[in-house]
Chain A
């Protein structure tokens, strides 16, 4: 197999896989219900297979820890000032409101 060689530019961020699967995965992560089954379904769509169920479960565990750690930060640390929606931008109204 050809080794991956140094690249001249920044690699693409992945996750360009099926949007539905990603949504299911993200929803599962947010509900703290992410398990090996969802991971397997998502990886299948990317053409990736792991060797046994425990590995899918470990991926789920790792992803859960990442999300648990980052979700509060994403809310607390907004993007840099130069790239935020203007503070006076009209906010979308709730339909019920």
Chain B
């Protein structure tokens, strides 16, 4: 007997949607309309989207015709998706969370966006993020995203909007980017699933870059199976990105059905318990480990002593690269960058070359070596994804933090995710419980390079044994409905005075996300001064 399909299209999985289309229970048009209504209702408070695509309904009509004609493009055919605003979208503005790019309309899609579209997915819009994926966690140029589990709390970043959008059904699937934890932290804080894939598995062509040797594009969704569906669609060699591997892409969805009994797992001793670990999070992760043991995994403990040094090694390696990437932004328009970003980039410029080179040649490889040694003995490593649940936005340091605040909010937190980013290994964040305050906790499952299928299989088995991933935020408490989104061209803000039409070559329209109840951000105004122009 088939399992019943969820009745709310905004709560459906990829498999549910495909079945609903196949059995003509729903049309892609119904599904997109339901998602747009959801965005209109919640985005004004949650600030998950920076730009909502006006093309979605037209695309849905086209996809519906394809379904009626019996043309099935696969599991993502007709699935609503959204992407972090760090990935270019043809004809739709791409801001990278920066006011400097408020009106930049790229000519082409990032490879992953194109691959998702080719698989039949329908683009709903662009998701909010910290400025250039490095910026301030408290004040975002396009409105600070709010956590739907408690709107006074952060969503995590830098794929910030993705966590909130997935949690409340403003998208079925999303594509984010993870430099040192930017997919996994918002997944953890918002009770959704996020995978940082193996470095080199997914193309970065069309990604506004931050750190060349760490930036990793990856999937986010409400279930591990949906994450596997996206990964299958976007992974694989891309001639436009020389860092991608040419191996055949495994069937990640099929591999979920393989047994996990006998999988060798090890808890990372330095992270469970690790620096700053909250008691409720620790208890949830330990219970999750017990569940995995019950599923037949062997559980051991392994030591990765380098964990304690990760923040400094990461900063010495990543900050100089990011500073170089954005040097011209820093030189020409420092006042249009947030203070956190200005300070990080300036620090990166001044990290002595000897330190940066040491980080690249010795520090980073030492961390990697310890992780790979552990992964020779074990199939997966286990750790909390974050040491705490989502923090209150008002308590996050904003400008001029003290040394103690830097240590508390950055150094401890960084150890849990940047450790695995430095090694380039796949790391999956899976919901694993709640704190006593009702906030999500997350288990991190880490695998060997290009063993993304193993990581997904363990995550899926865990999901089948628990129901944490099925829990959704109390949406009736999210706040009053936001006003309908104001329609503008090319996603530029409705308040802009300069209503220059888009270049003739761009026929796609988009609308800006509803500004909501908060004061409008200056950031969304068009960049007009200091010689900045809208680029086509």
Contact = CB atoms under 8 A, between A and B. Distances in A.
Query: Do A and B come together as binding partners?
Result: yes
Given A12-B324, A65-B403, A70-B316, A59 B346 contact: yes
A5 B94 CA distance: 12
B398 to A, nearest CB: 12
Given A55-B339, A73-B309, A77-B363, A6 B350 contact: no
A26 to B, nearest CB: 5
Contacts of B334: 48-51
B207, B312, B411 pick with most chain A CB within 10 angstroms: B312
Interface string B202-227: 00111111001100000000000000
Given A11-B324, A50-B334, A66-B355, A78 B350 contact: no
B355 A58 contact: no
Contacts of A13: 320-321, 324, 353, 356-357, 360
Contacts of B294: none
Given A10-B213, A55-B343, A80-B361, A1 B352 contact: no
Interface in B176-235: 204-209, 212-213
B342 interface: yes
A14 B320 contact: yes
Contacts of A22: 352-353
Given A14-B348, A61-B406, A63-B347, A78 B362 contact: yes
Contacts of A29: 352
A59 B316 contact: no
Given A8-B242, A11-B324, A67-B355, A48 B331 contact: yes
B350 A63 contact: yes
Contacts of B527: 1
A94 interface: no
A61 B403 contact: yes
Nearest to A4: B325
B346 A3 contact: no
Nearest to B315: A66
A4 B535 CA distance: 12
B242 A70 contact: no
B101 interface: yes
Contacts of B316: 66, 70
B361 A6 contact: no
Nearest to A53: B400
A54 B400 contact: yes
A85 interface: no
B396 interface: no
Contacts of A17: 349
Contacts of A7: 209, 212
A54 B399 contact: yes
Interface string B316-358: 1000110111111111111100010011101111111101111
B532 interface: yes
A61 B401 CA distance: 9
A14 B349 contact: yes
Contacts of B360: 13
A20 interface: no
A24 B378 CA distance: 47
Contacts of B208: 3-6
Contacts of A1: 100-101, 328-329, 332-333, 527, 531-532
Contacts of A58: 343, 399-401
Interface in A49-94: 49-51, 54-55, 57-59, 61-63, 65-67, 69-70, 73-74, 77-80, 83
B241, B328, B352 pick with most chain A CB within 10 angstroms: B352
Contact of A3 (B96, B212, B407): B96
A59 B347 CA distance: 5
Contact of A4 (B309, B326, B351, B401): B326
Contacts of A47: 331
Nearest to B314: A66
Contacts of A73: 309, 312-313, 363
Nearest to A67: B355
Nearest to B210: A4
Nearest to A47: B331
Contacts of A63: 347, 350-351
Interface string A17-55: 100001001100100000000010011001111110011
B414 to A, nearest CB: 12
A2 B104 CA distance: 8
Nearest to B366: A77
A15 B400 contact: no
B365 interface: yes
A66 B346 CA distance: 14
B100 A51 contact: no
B327, B350, B363 pick with most chain A CB within 10 angstroms: B350
Interface string B120-148: 00000000000000000000000000000
Given A55-B339, A80-B361, A48 B346 contact: yes
Nearest to B240: A6
Given A5-B208, A55-B343, A70-B316, 8 more contacts: A6-B208, A13-B321, A13-B360, A14-B320, A25-B352, A61-B403, A65-B407, A73-B312
12 contacts: A1-B100, A3-B104, A4-B208, A6-B204, A7-B212, A13-B360, A43-B346, A59-B347, A73-B312, A74-B355, A78-B362, A79-B362
